[in-house]
Amino acid sequence: MRDRKDELLEVFEHILRIRNECSCSVSSECGLSDLTVKQLTYLRAIDAGGEVTFTALAGITCTSKPTITEMINRFIRMDCVYRERCPGDGRLQYIRLTEKGKRIARAEHIALVQAVERMMDTLDDEETDLLIRILGKVR
């Protein structure tokens, strides 16, 4: 007879498989396989930063402005970002994500949402509430 730890491990492995399936699906849709971890980090920083300038992104990522310029030019060719002049100061340029860039930057969250939706599709409301209460206790 299996012990509870093995059963719990099996359940979590199944949940992680679901999440990984969703992640693979989102990744292939977005073209994530073409990006490095560093590039993905830059896109996430732009997404989280709001009004991100070249100088701000260099500070956030601890890289030089020439490196940022090179990376942004690459992202523009990939249709992930575009430049927008600041209306109040024409010398400043904001780095904005395109829809493709947003989808890539948010891919992990999108995959997690899809995994949760798949779980909720198999549970009724009472079971979902119970799962929320139980997992809410885990620290």
Yes or no: say if 118 and 16 are a contact pair by the CB < 8 Å rule: no
What pLDDT, in 10s, does the model give residues 88-114? 887 889 999 999 899 888 888 888 888
Ramachandran region, residue 90 (left: φ > 0; alpha: ψ -120 to 50; beta: rest)? alpha
What residues does 97 pair with on adjacent strands? 81
Q: For residue 95, give the 3-state DSSP assignment.
A: strand
Q: Does the pTM exceed 0.75? A: no
Residue 76 DSSP label: H
Q: What is the pLDDT of residues 55-86, one digit of tens each?
A: 999 998 899 999 999 999 999 998 999 999 98
The predicted-structure confidence for 33-61, as pLDDT tens digits, reads as follows 667 888 888 999 999 988 899 999 999 88
User: SS3 for 64?
Assistant: coil
